[in-house]
Amino acid sequence: MSESTSLSLAAKAAALDAADELAPLRDRFTLDDTVYLDGNSLGALPRGVPARVEDVVRREWGELRIRSWTESGWWTAPERIGDRIAPLVGAAPGQIVVGDSTSVNVFKALVGAVRMAQEPLPAPGVRDEILVDATTFPTDGYIAESAARMTGCALRPVAPADVPRAVGPRTAAVLLNHVDYRTGRMHDLPALTAAVHAAGAYTVWDLCHSAGALPVGLDAHGVDLAVGCTYKFLNGGPGSPAYLYVRRDLQSRFDSPLPGWNSHTEPFGMRPDYEAAPGAVRGRVGTPDILSMLALEAALDVWDDVTIDAVRAKSLALTDFFLECVAAYVPEGRVEPVTPAAHAERGSQVALRCPDAGEVMARLIGKGVIGDYRAPDTLRFGFTPLYVGYAETERAARALADEV
């Protein structure tokens, strides 16, 4: 890399940072001078969370104790926090419930989708197939295989692009990732949802790598069910609870395979027979994980007065700039971008194929540039527009060039 090129890109970064309307949001997080490009695995800590967690522990639990279920709003937290997530994924209130893990919610959503597809009971051979994203995060595949066994369905892995040709009259449900966790490729949610619906099947979308990074439009595109984690771009903290979206007109038909007491229409009636509560509440199972749930609620405060469209615009600008810097700094042929160049196909990360990716990432982390590695040969850099700037993006590309 020439000194003039480095100076030019550094100057460009400074100009972009000066014009960035989201730059002040960085002060809402606890950060240091490292370049943190791993928010697609674990988001940074919002500054307001520690004080809120201390209050929950010392006052709500320590002093109010059992009274906090009502006086502090613990009991209604899953729906209340779901309504705060809703605008970030394009959903109206009353359709998202927070709780459990992503894996558990995938299971609930997928089995629930198959049950809806199979009612009333079909003739033999009808709606007995589940399609699953062949490139999915492994746990989604494991859950889909178990759901298929439970519902008597065949499981067929397909590439997302092949779904319109693969879906058919025997398909009950299709489980897809909005953004591929390895490559950062964003799949066409509106078109794929429409194709699944045209075949009479139901969609289940995994939003783990898109919620909080780009517009999703669940309501606008008629998505049936969706799940997602909250510890990546939503910055909810390690192991923070996931969420389940059930479209409003499907809620009365949603038959969860995990009918816990929290989703009962009379949870304190202690009746031996199960009767599902109305609305999104029927997505609940057991007692909410209050400490992590209320930490998540506090973390969502960073989204006050922030639009997802502004976040998406900066995400694309950041990833464009990173790719520009990598092309300028890194020796030709040393790394290969696998994230699509087209904005319509790109999430909020850049993945680079590199033969010694694990060793390179270890050295980068030692130099204060935090990304991650996915076997066998992929470097991943996640760009969280709420706190990542352009100067540190340029710094990361320079460090990468030094290490390869």
Residue with tokens 């390895």: 182
Residues 6+ apart with CB under 8 A from 364: 370, 371, 396, 399, 400, 403
The pLDDT score that the predictor gives to residue 5 is: 78
pLDDT, tens digit, 9 for 90 and up, residues 154-171: 999 999 999 999 999 999
**Percent of the chain scoring above 90 in pLDDT:** 96
- Is 231 catalytic? The answer is yes
Catalytic residue among 170, 282, 380, 395: 380
Catalytic residue among 231, 243, 373, 390: 231
Set 36, 137, 254, 322: catalytic member: 137
137 annotated active-site = yes
pLDDT at 201: 97
Reply yes or no on whether 380 is catalytic.
Answer: yes
Contacts of 386 (CB under 8 A, 6+ apart): 22, 25, 26, 28, 29, 235, 302, 306, 311
> Which candidate in 185, 232, 346, 398 is catalytic?
232
Q: What is the dihedral of CA 199, 202, 207, 212, to 10 degrees?
A: 90
- C-alpha closest to that of 68 among 235, 288, 285, 221: 288
Q: What is the pLDDT of residue 220?
A: 98
CB 383 within 8 A of CB 393: yes
Task: Give the side-chain half-sphere CA count within 13 A for 69.
Answer: 7
pLDDT averaged over consecutive 10-residue blocks of the chain (404 residues)?
Answer: 80 98 98 98 98 98 98 98 98 98 98 94 76 96 98 97 97 98 97 98 98 98 98 98 98 97 96 96 97 98 98 98 97 96 98 97 98 96 98 98 95
Topology (CATH) of 3-30+307-403? Aspartate Aminotransferase, domain 1 (3.90.1150)
- Positions of CATH 3.40.640.10 in the chain: 52-303
Residues 114/130, Cβ–Cβ less than 8 Å? yes
d(CA 362, CA 372): 9
Question: What one-letter code names the amino acid at 391?
Answer: A
Q: What is the pLDDT of residue 125?
A: 57
- CATH 3.90.1150.10 in the chain, residues? 3-30+307-403
Give me the pLDDT at residue 7, please: 83
Tokens of 297: 């609620």
Catalytic residue among 206, 224, 289, 372: 206
**52-303, which class in CATH?**
alpha beta
Output the pTM of the full model: 0.96
